[in-house]
Structure 1
Amino acid sequence: MALVLSRLSHIIDRKASNRVVTRLRALLRSNEFYLIPLALVIGVATGATVTVMSLIAQFAHVFIYGIPIDVRLSANAWIDPVIALIAPAIGGLVLGVMEWLRRRWKIAPAVDPVEANALRGGRLSMRDSVVVSGQTLVSNGSGASVGLEAGYTQIGAGIASLLGQYLTLRRNDMRLILGCGAAAAIAAAFGAPITGAFYACELIVGVYSVGSAAPILAASLAGALTSQYLAGAPYSLEVQKVGAVGFEQYIALFVLALLVAGIGIVVMRASPAVERLFVRIPVWLRPAIGGVCVGAMAIVTPQVLAAGHGAMLLDLHREMAVGMIATIIVLKLAACLISLASGFRGGLFFASLFIGSLLGKLFAGVLALAGLGLALDPLVAMLTGMATLGVAIVGGPLTMSFLVLEMTRSVDVTAVVLGACIVTSVCVRVLFGHSFSTWRLHLRGETIRSANDVGWLRNLTVERLMRSDVAKVPTTTTIAACRREFALGTRQAVVVVNNSDDYCGLVSLPDLFSGELDSIADEIQVVELAKYFEVALLPEMNVKTAMKIFDDSGAEELAVLESENSRKVIGFLTESFARRRYVEEIDQATRGVLGALS
């Protein structure tokens, strides 16, 4: 009896839980306002996770390198050379074995938030997100020259996607919620809620939307406040005093922005070249060798280790020789490229900020030595270099500008930084067209250039759009016989096939019923009227490709062939239907831009 009552109680509880979830789903679908509480939950969870990850990484640095617990790894003046060589190598070996096992077990590579929002409607695997975040912790914790921000955004987006999938949110809502997770992660990492919100809008969601503003800001604030309450933002950057920017400095800073744009492009172009250096090395050994290279550079200066947060805080206000700055820039760039190329996991967000700040300091130092009479504040130059290299590599001019605003609380400095960021963004877009994340996707064969939702376009294939009730006639059929079989107005066209059922062209019914053919309709075969023999569609083509073929050929209807190597006709598609469906999907995909998410 007790067992029966226990089972009944379990069934009742499960039904009650299902009813609650069903009502919650209905609320979330009915009004965008109800996404805000969900965004707050995501923000708190992400902020707490970011705090835990940052503490684990710092404890790893303390345990492995024997540094004081309140000092960042890259801020140390000296580290043990033996540990510098061994620690990244061991961490790399762990990652190498994990990658070897992934390939052996044929597990697909993890999807990042940009790819998830661009191609998968905001769907991320929580298992993959945990693995990627763990690998990022191993990489950063062992001292590889990468930041934790990639792991932060991955786990934040993974938490958001998990909740969204549990609540079966619609595609637009899933993409928005994923942006909330990424916004909370960046806000928690930097203690900068506005920066986190714009990071999500520019780089993860891909649009600035009235409807998405409230949930993203809510998640960003919740993430920032949670991390501040628990242990403080791990990548907090604050500049107490910064001088005013005179008009004469604008030109110099815009020149800096152009130089930084070129450096950013060179860095991204160099990435695949460095990767090719590791191709012939066994995959399990690559990160270990990369770790030894990074460790060797750390013996020269520990500033190449980890993300560089401590080093950046150290270098912001101290006097440095031009030669020393240039050396650190070269070594840090090399360490970052080698770390990522060899197989370490992590991001270049903070590394680009650190290197950019040094580029600004170097630029100001060179100007001072040149004796041109132009007094450029090194701190302003550092902030400009930091933001512009961030734009060149990561993207998001408004994200970087608001990061400077939240660091300095200075509108004057932010104004010139915004102008410089726009200059860099335009140059990189025109001359290169990618950020680092989309460039790496491009190298894998993807064509996306932002997080804008193009997944629907790839899903809208010719196979989904075509009709399979094909009207076929043999090549030997006469015009008269074809007229008797297909009345005018019943079809737009008929497909002509040979004895092997291979495609031989299309004949439009208006052409078939032309009055000029009446006298010879019993003598002429229908194949004489066939057109578009060399033009056809394939089932895997997307609608955009199909419409281009319609435009180039001038056809109103085209046959769909089985494959590139087969001439068998499996369906047909009309231009009017393809265009109508394309417009409908565009309307649905962009409905959230003006806030109409329902």
Structure 2
Amino acid sequence: MEQKVAAAPPTTASADPAVKAPDRLRALVRGNELGLSVLAVAIGAASGLLVIGIAALAQWMHVLFFTIRPDERLSAVGDLATPSLVFLPAAGGLALGVLLFALSRRRRNRALVDPIEANALHGGRMSLTDSLIVVAQNVISNGFGASVGLEAAYTQICSGVASRIGISFQMRRSDMRTLVGCGAAGAIAAAFNAPLTGAFYAFELVIGTYSIATLTPVVAAALVGALISRIFVGNAYLIDIGAPGPVYALDYPPAIALAVLAAGIGILVMTTVTRTEALFRLSRVPTALRPALGGLVLAGLATITPQVLSAGHGAMHATFDASLSATTLLLLLFLKAFASAISIGSGFRGGLFFASLFLGSILGKLFAIVAAAIFGAAALSSPIYALVGMSTMAVSIIGGPLTMTFLALEMTGDLPVTALVLAAVVTASMTVRKTFGYSFATWRFHLRGESIRSAHDVGWIRNLSVGRMMRRDLRTASEDTTLKVFRRDFPLGSSQRVIITDRADAYVGIVLVPDAYSEDIDDLDKSVKELVRFKDFMLLPQMNAREASRLFDRAESEALAVVDDPASKRVLGLLTESHLLRRYSEELEARRREAAGETV
């Protein structure tokens, strides 16, 4: 018998009202792969403009608040104009706290969904309103000097716009996820003037996989995003490390050693952020006041060196160009790592992408000093070690080994150096995966109780819940029903199984109808309760297909009852293993077709 699937509203991360595109245009885009690529080009162009606008706004705030020149970077200034300016992060923390307080009263602490979570759990659906809130929080944080980057704002708003476009065109789930990846690709490509980096950031971190179907739109968005950036700001976002120098086979072991060291420090940074958040919670300081308190700690660090402020673009270029002592580099490494942990841990909003690049460059230059002392003239040049440090630290914290490899390629245009970086980032990635198991984003999901290890689409598994698959047309009987009455009400062949309940309508077990007609039964006045099976095995409506399948294996049953909760055991429906496996196979096949670019 075909089972009826219980109706339920689709899970969505979007609370914004939908505005539909014209019907003919929707049909053209949905029915043509070229239409998806055209949308990707538009998303890439919008992403480039949005990145330029957000970066300009943050720089304007730095110029206004810290009285620096428009062509200066905040983290590159030797000294602030006046000593009191170090307290600006605390002022920004107060401003952010006011925003957080207002949002907590309006939203009741509903979590903001980022592109990774949207693609993993919500089929690419994001709220544009939430994305604008993230941008506001990130710009306030960075604009007042908190040690965070703007990458969170870039990817959030660009992916949010892409998702809104996808919703208006009523795109399929796979296409929605691709468009969100296009937004992130365009954002990162524009932010770093690196289209390959942007494209593989989308593949590895936002979409969760690479496929032929996603190649054209994602690469198109990244190329257009980078092109828009170059047209309007030239090479202002380009990271220039100079001439790296030659690479030989014997240079690989030291680079791999640096990768392992970067992985260890990356894990330490991520856990320090978590411990800092825990300390702020234990302090019982109100959430709205925590950024201001974190800003005061940043003020203390900024009195030592202003290079801990903001993302660190200017400081990194200054570090590349200067010959700093090991002591200075070690101090700067500690201060920047601590400043980033304090900023994120106290509630400032922002990314660690560029901060991880800056930390890695410091570590690489520090390693170069040690390598020169050990290997002498045979050691690699300082820029190469800095590049390896940047890439390995970033892959340890952010993830995406190919993303960081292509960033190195686009920075240097040198294939031997890129091959060295590839070996190092693979080592760092494997080290973090085997010893820690998370990137910064997925680690924070883990702390929230989410089992997300990447942006790979697992939302369909959660949507394929027992509550949606169960049938509600139940055959039930009371536990005190006699076998005589049971045989009268359920003739042989009328049903395969009957759910038994007590007087409070709580689940007792399942009676297989053929068991009630066994020749071994002598007394028909006995209760059917003696024939009950599967007393301790019950499904819950929120269970997903995998969890239900494991319970079927343990129970060794072809069907199980669905109850509202283990306490009351009120029966809601019945689910058979055959129907579960059929629906699971259908969804797996649908995901396979999506990955292959096939449409139905």
Matches within 5 A, 1:329-478: 329-370=333-374, 375-478=379-482
* 3-state SS of paired residue (1:67): coil
Give the match for residue 246 of structure 1: 248
**1:78-97 to 2 correspondences below 5 Å:** 78-80=79-81, 82-97=83-98
Mapped contact 2:464–2:545 kept (Cα < 8 A): yes
Counterpart in 2 of 1:30? 31
Provide the rounded CA distance (Å) in 2 between the counterparts of 1:19 and 1:105: 27
2:341, 2:200 → 1: CA distance?
27
Deviates more, 1:584-593 or 1:148-157: 584-593
Q: Which amino acid aligns with 1:149?
A: E
Aligned match of 1:115: 117
Q: TM-score scaled by structure 2?
A: 0.93
* Whole-angstrom distance in 2 between the partners of 1:489 and 1:429: 55
**SS across alignment from 1:381:** helix
Equivalent-residue separation in structure 1 for 2:478 and 2:165 (angstroms) = 56
User: What is the match of residue 589 of structure 2?
Assistant: 587
Instruction: Please say if residues 442 and 448 of structure 1, whose CA atoms lie closer than 8 Å, have aligned partners that are also in contact.
Output: yes
* Counterpart in the other structure of 1:8: none
The equivalent of 1:151 in structure 2 is 153
Name the aligned partner's letter for residue 409 of structure 1: G
Alignment of 1:495-510 (within 5 A): 495-510=499-514
| Alignment partner of 1:272 out of 249, 271, 274 | 274
SS at match of 1:114: helix
What are the superposed Cα offsets for residues 384-418 of structure 1, whole Å, 9 maximum, x if unpaired? 11111111110100000000000000110111111
1:55 to 1:375, Cα distance in 2 relative to 1, 3 A: same
Q: What residue in structure 1 maps to residue 53 of structure 2? A: 52
Task: Name which of structure 1's ranges 195-204 and 359-368 shifts more when overlaid on structure 2.
Answer: 359-368
Deviation readout 1:454-484 (Å, 9 max, x if unpaired): 1111122111111111111222334454334
* Residues 178-210 of structure 1: per-residue CA shift (max 9 Å, x gap): 110010000000010011000001000111011
Question: How far apart are the structure 2 equivalents of 1:267 and 1:131?
Answer: 26
**C-alpha separation between the residues in 1 aligned to 2:426 and 2:493?**
56
Offset at residue 154 of structure 1 (A): 0.7
User: 1:491: how far off?
Assistant: 3.0
Q: Is 1:319 equivalent to 2:320 in the alignment?
A: no
Secondary structure (helix, strand or coil) at the match of 1:468 reads coil
Q: Aligned ranges for residues 492-531 of structure 1 at < 5 Å?
A: 492-517=496-521, 520=522, 522-531=524-533
Whether the 8 Å contact between 2:30 and 2:169 is mirrored in structure 1 is: no
Alignment of 1:108-187 (within 5 A): 108-187=110-189
Give, in whole Å, the separation in 2 of the partners of 1:523 and 1:283.
66
- Cα distance in 1 for partners of 2:89, 2:274 equals 22
Residue in structure 2 matched with residue 554 of structure 1 by the alignment: 556
Separation (CA, whole Å) in 2 of partners of 1:236 and 1:485: 79
Q: Give CA-to-partner distance per residue, 1:562-587, whole Å, 9 cap, x none.
A: 22221221211111111111121222
Which residue of 2 is the match for residue 13 of structure 1?
none
* 1:468/1:572 contact within 8 Å kept: yes
Q: Secondary structure at the match of 1:168?
A: coil
CA distance in 2 between counterparts of 1:34 and 1:527 reads 62
Distance in 1 separating the partners of 2:589 and 2:523: 47
Mean Cα deviation higher: 169-178 or 369-378: 369-378
Q: 1:575 to 1:514 in 2, by over 3 A?
A: same
Task: State how far apart, in whole Å, the 1-side matches of 2:432 and 2:574 are.
Answer: 42
Whether contact under 8 Å (1:492, 1:557) holds in the other structure is: no
Q: Which moved more, 1:498-507 or 1:37-46?
A: 498-507
1:103 corresponds to which residue? Answer: 104
Q: Verify: 1:62 aligned to 2:63, yes or no.
A: yes
In structure 2, do the counterparts of structure 1 residues 156 and 500 end up closer, same or farther at CA, with 3 Å as the change threshold? same
Would you say the 8 A contact 1:136–1:151 is kept in 2?
yes
Paired letter, 1:39: A
Identity of aligned pairs, percent? 47
* Structure 2 residue 305 is the aligned partner of structure 1 residue 301: yes
Amino acid at match of 2:213: G
Distance in 2, matches of 1:100 and 1:110, equals 15
CA–CA distance in structure 1, aligned partners of residues 167 and 81 of structure 2:
47
Secondary structure, counterpart of 1:392 in structure 2:
helix
Checking the alignment, whether the CA contact within 8 Å between 1:394 and 1:435 is kept in structure 2 is: yes
Matches within 5 A, 1:201-240: 201-232=203-234, 235-240=237-242
SS of residue in 2 equivalent to 1:593: helix
Secondary structure of 1:576's counterpart equals helix
Tell which deviates more after alignment, 139-148 or 484-493.
484-493
Deviation at 1:311, TM superposition (A): 1.1
How far apart, in 1, do the equivalents of 2:237 and 2:345 lie?
Answer: 24
**Quick check: 180-189 or 113-122, which moved more?**
113-122
Partners of 2:432 and 2:492 lie apart in 1 by 56
What is the CA–CA distance in structure 2 between the aligned matches of 1:564 and 1:62, rounded to whole Å?
60
User: 1:446 Cα shift?
Assistant: 1.5
**TM-score between the two structures when normalised by the length of structure 1:** 0.93
Offset, 1:246: 1.1
- Following superposition, the deviation at residue 235 of structure 1 comes to 3.2
Kept in 1: contact 2:204–2:400 (CA 8 A): yes
Report how far residue 48 of structure 1 moved.
0.7
- Which residues of structure 2 form unaligned runs of 5+? 1-18
Q: 1:498: Cα distance to partner? A: 2.1
C-alpha separation between the residues in 2 aligned to 1:264 and 1:128?
Answer: 29
What is the distance in 2 between the residues matched to 1:55 and 1:372? 44
Matched, 1:289 2:293: yes
Partners of 1:234 and 1:438 lie apart in 2 by 31
Query: Aligned partners of 2:454 and 2:48: how far apart in 1?
Result: 25
Q: Give structure 1 stretches of 5+ with no counterpart.
A: 1-17
SS of aligned partner of 1:303: helix
Count matched residues: 579
Alignment-derived partner of residue 545 in structure 2 = 543
- 2-structure distance, mates of 1:501, 1:555: 22
Alpha-carbon contact 2:20-2:168 (below 8 Å) kept: no
